Structure 1
Amino acid sequence: MSGQEWWKRAVIYQIYPRSFQDADGDGIGDLAGIAQRLDYLSWLGVDAIWISPFYTSPMKDFGYDIQDYRDVDPIFGTLADFDALAARARALGLKLILDFVPNHTSDRHPWFLESRQSPASAKRDWYIWRDPAADGGPPTNWLAEFGGSAWEYDEASGQYYYHAFLKEQPDLNWRNPEVRAAMYDAMRFWLERGVDGFRVDVMWHLIKDDQFRDNPPNPARPPNAGPANALIPLYTADRPEVHDIVREMRAVVDAYPERVLIGEIWLPTDRLVTYYGHDLRGAHLPFNFQLIGAAWDAGVIKEIVGDYEKALPRGGWPNWVMGNHDKGRIASRLGPRQARLAMLLLLTLRGTPTLYYGDEIAMRDVPIPPDRVCDPYEKNVPGLGLGRDPQRTPMQWEDAPQAGFTRASRSWLPIAADASTVNVAAQRAAPASMLTLVHRLIALRKAEAALTIGDYGALDAPERVVMFLRRVPGRRLLIALNLGESAQSLSLPGDSRQATTLLSTDPERPLGDLAPAFTLGGGEGIVVLLADRETAPPSPAA
């Protein structure tokens, strides 16, 4: 890898299309709405947008139950709207990444309707059908992520079909070469329309055990975890054969120049990195979620980053994700001051960062009244706080009715109570705002090669401080983050003659020269240019 691939230098911005911008006034975001806001994303400085599913769907899981992989659901617009969005993105220099959901379809997909007609159907083997167990119950003990058995009984045929998620989301049989061919053709449909890559949903789920063995019990099930965590998914996820499929997907993408394949993979680091594949012919970026659920503790963060850097295969490119549509928002997890540090960390670690819409203005999780709950996870498993609606609420654009998201009197999910002050318009005009900080951080990434393709090196630091170097030949940047509440006394590395503060999360800190011994405020992070033998300007004699 040369270091010049666009996705190595990029900041990726995730858009949940129902919640970004509503152009047609029905209270639900759409593709035309996204197109209207691309100028904002261009100003923000992101390089690529990843759009969560907008395909034709009954919306049992809000687009992750797909009825037609080659069309746009009328809620979101039309193929013409998509083409207009893609053209506008290209004009602004923005790459376009689509969510691809290959593990399962909707139960209303024509493939499943045909599969369900009869055990003799030509597409019966496109899905995972099994006879009942000896007692007439489900074939195995496998559990669905959204509650209950992962097997649904079909009265007409006397067999069960497997669904890792909702019963309305039957899993495809990826051991069937016809399924693979059909799904790769679906990918090509969008690649031919000019998309720049895919984020592949639940990539590690695609293959299930061909012997249909029971999953073992999980003795370390976390409290308040989802019901599926009662078992270790030994036979339903991360099977060895899945890497053959990932390699084939990569070959599909590689047939088109400058495309990227990203995998959603919720696995420990040692398993995650295997999805880069043999000879790096797997996913370009197996999504790294290690920081999302981690304790916000300097020691924990240092260990996570260090372990990940060591585990990466030679030539494998790192990436970091700190927020998405499935997990609580950063500002709610960490609070406003530490959320600023999180943005600094995300945008200065080595690798490609992904930014979730609204995190750049420190949007928080929004309480959802019981009568407004939409998420099937919350409906199926209430009371555990697993619902994902709070982090999927509409983008807060301005101090206006419905925060400028829609002209309808009611949006599909509630608008945050603080939207009159926490919004793009207000923060864009405020020098000390989160949005201004993120905008400046992204601009600094673009200006400093050390922050995009530079090396990473951890530095010793006090207990509550994370400190590291990013370096390219001739230029070194020091990043220091104080996760504690109290100020910390720090020193520049011993080989540094002088330094210049380029950016601070504390708007009160002056930029410019920094003394070799300095104080980092509680909850403050800084980016410092080190001047030493490597970065000193050449002498006249040179």
Structure 2
Amino acid sequence: MAEPAWWQRGIIYQIYPRSFGDLDGDGIGDLAGIAARLDHLVRLGVDALWLSPIYPSPMADFGYDVADYEGIDPIFGTLADFDALVAAAHARGLRVLLDFVPNHSSDRHPWFLESRTSRSAPRRRWYVWRDPAPGGGPPNNWLSHFGGGAWAWDQATGQYYLHSFLKEQPDLNWRNPEVRRAMYGALRFWLARGVDGFRVDVLWLLMKDALFRDNPPNPAWKPGDREHDRLLPLHDADQPETLDLVMEMRAVLDEYPDRVLIGEIYLPVERLVAYYGRDLKGAHLPFNFQLIGAAWNAANIARLVAEYEAALPAGAWPNWVLGNHDQHRIATRIGAAQARVAAMLLLTLRGTPTIYYGEELGLTDVPIPPEAVWDPAERNEPGLGLGRDPERTPMPWDGTPGAGFTTGTPWLPVGADRDVLNVAAEERDPASMLHLYRALTGLRRGSEALTLGALEGLRAEGEVLRYVRRGAGERLAVLLNLGHAPQSVAEVAGEVLLSTHGDRPGEAVPGTLPLRPAEGVVMRLAA
């Protein structure tokens, strides 16, 4: 068998660059601030850092509106700063992944500025332009993910252009071979600089229906739901031709050794796994977001893990995510006690885990007053709770007013609990979430069963989720109490290796293990 790739054994850590470390004191995180904190990642036990977009951008959507795919926004630093970050990370054994945003550019990208000069402009077909509908108005009924219609009128040329998100984010035309060549050139630009892979933004949206047919209404939609969900996205998402594009991207990465392609894909599991591609020549890791929206009970988690494992193509490698820059933090969703159990779940399931910055501290969403809101998702549809600022707030390194993040005024408020939930304070507390995460990553790294082993015996027993990881002559039982009352687990004998409560290592288990409320345990089973 081939030696497992680093990303199969490894743990990925997502950094939102605006919020991780600010070295120049302007209140916005930068590349130098990230480089200054790399030792935290080494101690945490992760293997790769993934950076949300750092390209030049007007920041209409905080970097997801790219104005230059081969540069660094001055807010974050320079290409030299980026090269220094990559070198510093590699020197510590850390890989560096970039966000790639291929579905749309900024409306200030030179490509789009040229595209909108006339209908005959050389790059007109680099974007999706359409005539009005026969009776006037937008070409079809497609909706923007950020509210409203997905078409913007251009008075000068008398056509509409497509924007699946903000009107400042025109969609690129991926049916045009020139677009594909240019974007693959951008991938090679970063790969040649030592980037170890990419997380590809909204990968499932790249290709649109060639006939631009209307989307049908969603019968489950009701007033108060997100406007975009009013229609079923049959014709502007997950088109069959998208898989060919993913395989082309993968071929570019395969020109370089040891690179990884990760896809952001919000689809049902049976469609998600298609993005592994024919003969597994698509995305190495189509992101599996099932834990983010899951009802937090043992029966449901057991079901979704089983369904995902069953749906994986032969030889495909699984992955798991608890949170990211678009989702409420896990400790907000299920509470501080269960967030510890979730950490054990994430780091003991089969597959590659991704940790969102601050999860290792138990951070929660930070309330953002209306006057301090930045996120266009909240501004465009206020009151629906779509704002993503609360989970993007600065990383608290200590209890000072700037939380060790900045000497200036943070671009978003730091959590009011920064005096307790910060790296320095949790370093001093052996019972902290930070120490739990380090213990979990250490256990995982030292166990062939946890990194590469099989998943067996998955089942729910009341509020307890249990499974076994087996590999290299070792069998580890994972027992997770997802409830708020004590539980007792039978038919387990062996030795406790780790408890989320931190106080049971070495405890002998004769056959029955009592679990406290919201307690998870990893134990080595007797032969």
- Normalising by structure 1, report the TM-score: 0.96
1:351 lines up with 2:351 in the alignment: yes
Equivalent in the alignment of 2:25: 25
1:530 lines up with 2:525 in the alignment: yes
1:88 Cα offset (Å): 0.1
Equivalent in the alignment of 1:205: 205
Q: Is the 8 A contact 1:12 1:353 kept in 2?
A: yes
Deviates more, 1:513-522 or 1:232-241: 513-522
Equivalent in the alignment of 1:450: 449
1:521 lines up with 2:516 in the alignment: yes
1:400 Cα offset (Å): 1.0
The CA distance in 2 between the partners of 1:506 and 1:30, in whole Å, is: 36
The CA distance in 1 between the partners of 2:355 and 2:306, in whole Å, is: 22
Q: Is the 8 A contact 1:273 1:312 kept in 2?
A: yes
Equivalent in the alignment of 2:425: 426
Equivalent in the alignment of 1:490: 489
Q: How does 1:132-531 map to 2 (within 5 A)?
A: 132-221=132-221, 224-408=224-408, 410-493=409-492, 498-531=493-526
2:293 is paired with a residue whose SS is coil
Deviates more, 1:505-514 or 1:515-524: 505-514
The CA distance in 2 between the partners of 1:333 and 1:101, in whole Å, is: 28
The CA distance in 1 between the partners of 2:237 and 2:457, in whole Å, is: 34
Cα displacement string for residues 30-79 of structure 1 (whole angstroms, at most 9, x for unaligned residues)? 00000000011111110000000000000000000000010000000000
Cα displacement string for residues 224-259 of structure 1 (whole angstroms, at most 9, x for unaligned residues)? 542110001000000000000000000000000000
The CA distance in 2 between the partners of 1:385 and 1:459, in whole Å, is: 35
The CA distance in 2 between the partners of 1:419 and 1:492, in whole Å, is: 42
The CA distance in 2 between the partners of 1:101 and 1:63, in whole Å, is: 9
- Aligned AA for 2:353? P
- Aligned AA for 2:339? A
1:70 is paired with a residue whose SS is coil
2:113 is paired with a residue whose SS is helix
The CA distance in 1 between the partners of 2:505 and 2:516, in whole Å, is: 13
- Aligned AA for 2:511? P
- Aligned AA for 2:463? R
Q: Is the 8 A contact 2:198 2:261 kept in 1?
A: yes
Q: Is the 8 A contact 1:428 1:435 kept in 2?
A: yes
The CA distance in 2 between the partners of 1:177 and 1:479, in whole Å, is: 49
2:410 is paired with a residue whose SS is coil
- Aligned AA for 1:279? D
Q: How does 1:85-104 map to 2 (within 5 A)?
A: 85-104=85-104
Instruction: Go from structure 1 to structure 2 and tell me whether the alpha carbon gap of 1:474 and 1:222 turns closer, same or farther (over 3 Å shift).
Output: farther
1:135 Cα offset (Å): 2.0
Q: Is the 8 A contact 1:479 1:525 kept in 2?
A: yes
Q: Is the 8 A contact 1:3 1:453 kept in 2?
A: no
Equivalent in the alignment of 2:126: 126
The CA distance in 2 between the partners of 1:46 and 1:32, in whole Å, is: 19
1:436 Cα offset (Å): 0.3
The CA distance in 2 between the partners of 1:222 and 1:460, in whole Å, is: 35
Deviates more, 1:369-378 or 1:222-231: 222-231
The CA distance in 2 between the partners of 1:223 and 1:273, in whole Å, is: 32
- Aligned AA for 1:487? P
Equivalent in the alignment of 1:54: 54
Instruction: Go from structure 1 to structure 2 and tell me whether the alpha carbon gap of 1:58 and 1:459 turns closer, same or farther (over 3 Å shift).
Output: closer
The CA distance in 1 between the partners of 2:224 and 2:21, in whole Å, is: 33
Aligned residues: 527
The CA distance in 2 between the partners of 1:279 and 1:223, in whole Å, is: 43
1:473 Cα offset (Å): 3.4
1:461 Cα offset (Å): 4.3
| RMSD value, Cα | 1.0
Q: Is the 8 A contact 1:103 1:203 kept in 2?
A: yes
Instruction: Go from structure 1 to structure 2 and tell me whether the alpha carbon gap of 1:407 and 1:450 turns closer, same or farther (over 3 Å shift).
Output: same
Structure 1's unaligned 5+ residue stretches are: 533-542
1:222 Cα offset (Å): 6.8
The CA distance in 2 between the partners of 1:447 and 1:394, in whole Å, is: 32
Percentage of identical aligned residues: 62
- Aligned AA for 2:273? V
Q: Is the 8 A contact 1:56 1:63 kept in 2?
A: yes
- Aligned AA for 2:217? P
The CA distance in 2 between the partners of 1:119 and 1:245, in whole Å, is: 26
Q: Is the 8 A contact 2:147 2:228 kept in 1?
A: yes
Cα displacement string for residues 317-340 of structure 1 (whole angstroms, at most 9, x for unaligned residues)? 000011000000011111110000
Q: Is the 8 A contact 2:484 2:517 kept in 1?
A: yes
Cα displacement string for residues 272-310 of structure 1 (whole angstroms, at most 9, x for unaligned residues)? 000000000000000000110111011110000000000
1:439 is paired with a residue whose SS is helix
Equivalent in the alignment of 1:535: none
Q: Is the 8 A contact 2:15 2:51 kept in 1?
A: yes
1:467 is paired with a residue whose SS is strand
The CA distance in 1 between the partners of 2:245 and 2:505, in whole Å, is: 52
The CA distance in 1 between the partners of 2:506 and 2:284, in whole Å, is: 37
2:316 is paired with a residue whose SS is coil
The CA distance in 2 between the partners of 1:520 and 1:87, in whole Å, is: 45
Q: Is the 8 A contact 1:130 1:159 kept in 2?
A: yes
- Aligned AA for 1:467? R
1:78 lines up with 2:73 in the alignment: no
1:2 Cα offset (Å): 3.0
1:223 Cα offset (Å): 7.0
- Aligned AA for 1:397? W
1:508 Cα offset (Å): 3.6
Equivalent in the alignment of 1:117: 117
1:403 is paired with a residue whose SS is coil
- Aligned AA for 2:513? F
The CA distance in 2 between the partners of 1:461 and 1:201, in whole Å, is: 34
Q: Is the 8 A contact 2:302 2:458 kept in 1?
A: no
Cα displacement string for residues 398-434 of structure 1 (whole angstroms, at most 9, x for unaligned residues)? 01121110000x1100011000111011111111100
1:211 Cα offset (Å): 0.3
2:71 is paired with a residue whose SS is strand
Deviates more, 1:515-524 or 1:342-351: 515-524
The CA distance in 1 between the partners of 2:226 and 2:77, in whole Å, is: 34
